[in-house]
Structure 1
Amino acid sequence: MASDLPVIDLSLLPSNFGEKQNFSDLDGNNELKKLREACQELGFFRIINHGMEAAFIQKTDSLARDMFSLAEEEKSRAIFPIFNTGYCPADAGADGKASLPENLVFPGENALPNSVDQISAKLWPHGNNDFQQTVHKYNSHMTEVAHRILKLVLLSLGLDVSKHYNSDPFGTSLQGWLRMNYYYNTKDEEEEAQNVQHISKAHTDLGCVTILYQDNVGGLQIRTKKGDWINTKPLPGAFVVNLGDCLQMWSNCRYRSSEHRVVYQGLKKNQGRLSMAFFLDFIDKAEIRAPKELIDEEHPQKYKTVKFSDITSYLMQVGPTLGGPPSYFLL
């Protein structure tokens, strides 16, 4: 099903959040209403005027492709024993199609100090300062944008941003991390490659907010409330944003975490598809509990109060669940 995502212009929304600022203060702001509707219906939207220059985005894209073009033995030096850290080779599905791309994961700086530098040193023992500094800058900018988006999400819920963002589970209980993904076609026959459909595993994101860059190959599909898969096309200069399971839980299901996947075909030989996902998640000790302002007779409390570590521990035991937060934590 063909569709497109709502486009949110950040230049039309607040960047500073004063005391007791809430949705009623911006009741006439159509952009904030668009954001609220997008979070309620699909949990996905695009952002423009986010402050990152097109030339810098292209430079990051180019350096990421250069990294993925390294020989396998060079990339394998950056495989770490720590889960979700460093390089991970592609995972082929049972039918021979790539079900997961190769990727490079940079954990949050708080989780693993200087992770960008440590991983870069494994890839390039003699150094690659340009790559390190670019990834640091990309992470820094994405961190700022992700926090602003999350504040705007709270604002669109009608909440006092200064009150909630300076207390648990927000405040100092958030960490960001970056994953670069690369799908690469090595088929000898171009015609054969064009007929192969590549499908990544459908999933929802666990944390709060994800900001996605994808190149012009596209392929992102999102599942609607009715269960239909809709296609989205890349919009140059824009990022795709989606909400995660924990934010659905915290918002008492006012907002939605949607299942999504990547489906594409037609890559020519030696052509690749690059995406970069920045995740803003809670730290392990963060307590996820819907605020009283979002609980009433029409919206009774849906989920138990849990720590982020409770959710990750459960998922490690039973495997990933689809369609939003695990039902195990429902009241």
Structure 2
Amino acid sequence: MASHLPVIDLSLFGDKENLSHLEGNNELKKLKDACQELGFFHVVNHGVDTTLIEKMDRASRDMFSLPEEVKKRAIFPTPSAGYSTPTLGVDGKDSMPESMHFPGPSVLPNSLDQVCTKLWPHGNHQFREIAHAYNSNMMSLSERIIQLIMLSLGLDVSKYYKSGLFTSLIEGYVRMNYYPGTKDEEESQNAYKTSISHTDIGILTILYQDDVGGLQIRTKEGCWIDVKPLKRSFVVNLGDCLQMWSNCRYRSAEHRVVYGGLKQKKERLSIAFFFTFEEKAEIKAPEELITEEHPQKYNVAKFGDIIAQYFQLGPTLGGSNYFLI
């Protein structure tokens, strides 16, 4: 079943520095409904230059077109850092695409420079410049969105966004994913692959995807729905930490990508920006969100402990379930 995600127009929120006038704003209500029901939405008029997005798309494709032996030089022993080769699960299930990770400084300091040095020992200033600019823009956009999400929860943004949790214990990082197009010999077999279904562990994810499609979300009722690509938009989804921090007011939804076979004749590219906490950050729901109607759902937890449980329990369950009261 195909579905259009709710579309949130950031231009309707006005001045980035003044959020006090937005209570009762219709777009804010749309945002709240999207966070409660699907945990996914499109953002448009987001302020990120279209030219930069196009440059990032081309740079990513050029990087993935490098010889395999060159890309493998960027494999790091640190989990989720550098290059990852594609993996094929049984009957195509739980497969993973080719990817390149640029984790935050708490995981791998100066990861972009380290990866680039492995790929291009003689330098590639253009790639670094584009990737740095994209990362900076995604960080600013994430900060804007999380403040609007706080406001949609009825919280005092100046109090909670400027707290130590959201100013000194935040980081963001990029992961590029490449899905090759269907080869001639595969067409008759209709060889679909499905990535590992999972929830994202952090605060929120901003996803750039091309026009190929393939992203699916699991609804509250347990049905998988296809997300139709929308030009000049980003897909935003909430992560486990935001579900915990919001005391389950908002939803971290399971999702996956279906690709290959007759459904995907051409290559697919996606670029995910993960807005997340550092490991020492302590996740605790605001007192205003704990009431008789909404009793506390989670024990207080450090993000590092959530990560550990995420890897132990598996990505579908996520790390947050372990901390349910």
Shorter-normalised TM-score: what interval?
over 0.9
Aligned ranges 1:121-160 → 2 under 5 Å: 121-160=117-156
Residue number among 228, 231, 244 corresponding to 1:233 in the alignment: 228
How far does the alpha carbon of each residue in 1:130-180 deviate from its partner, in whole angstroms, 9 at most, with x for none?
111100110010000011101110011010001001114222111001000
1:191 Cα shift?
Answer: 2.9
Residue number among 295, 315, 330 corresponding to 2:324 in the alignment: 330
How far does the alpha carbon of each residue in 1:295-323 deviate from its partner, in whole angstroms, 9 at most, with x for none?
1110000000011011112223333343x
1:186 Cα shift?
Answer: 6.3
Residue number among 234, 245, 248 corresponding to 2:243 in the alignment: 248
Check whether the contact 1:17–1:162 (CA below 8 A) recurs between aligned residues: no
Aligned ranges 1:1-331 → 2 under 5 Å: 1-18=1-18, 25-95=21-91, 99-109=95-105, 111-185=107-181, 187-189=183-185, 191-192=187-188, 195-264=190-259, 265-266=261-262, 271-322=266-317, 326-331=320-325
Segment drifting more, 257-266 vs 172-181: 257-266
How far does the alpha carbon of each residue in 1:3-52 deviate from its partner, in whole angstroms, 9 at most, with x for none?
1101111111144345xx55xx4233111111011001111000011112
1:112 Cα shift?
Answer: 3.2
Identity %: 60
Check whether the contact 2:214–2:227 (CA below 8 A) recurs between aligned residues: yes
Whichever residue aligns with residue 324 of structure 2, its letter is: L
Check whether the contact 2:92–2:191 (CA below 8 A) recurs between aligned residues: no
Segment drifting more, 148-157 vs 182-191: 182-191
| Equivalenced residues, count | 324
1:326 Cα shift?
Answer: 3.5
How far does the alpha carbon of each residue in 1:224-271 deviate from its partner, in whole angstroms, 9 at most, with x for none?
1111111111111100000000100000000000000111343677x3
Check whether the contact 2:106–2:278 (CA below 8 A) recurs between aligned residues: no
1:81 Cα shift?
Answer: 0.9
Check whether the contact 2:311–2:319 (CA below 8 A) recurs between aligned residues: no
Structure 2 stretches of 5 or more lacking a match?
Answer: none
CA distance in 1, matches of 2:270, 2:214: 10
Root-mean-square deviation (CA), in Å?
Answer: 1.9
CA distance in 1, matches of 2:249, 2:192: 35
Whichever residue aligns with residue 244 of structure 1, its letter is: G
Check whether the contact 1:190–1:268 (CA below 8 A) recurs between aligned residues: no
CA distance in 2, matches of 1:190, 1:321: 29
Indicate the SS of the match to 1:125: coil
Check whether the contact 2:298–2:324 (CA below 8 A) recurs between aligned residues: yes
TM-score normalised by structure 1 residue count: 0.93
Residues 202 and 251 of structure 1: is their aligned pair in 2 closer, same or farther, counting only changes over 3 Å? same
1:190 Cα shift?
Answer: 6.0
TM-score normalised by structure 2 residue count: 0.94
Segment drifting more, 60-69 vs 105-114: 105-114
Check whether the contact 1:222–1:229 (CA below 8 A) recurs between aligned residues: yes
Check whether the contact 1:8–1:45 (CA below 8 A) recurs between aligned residues: yes
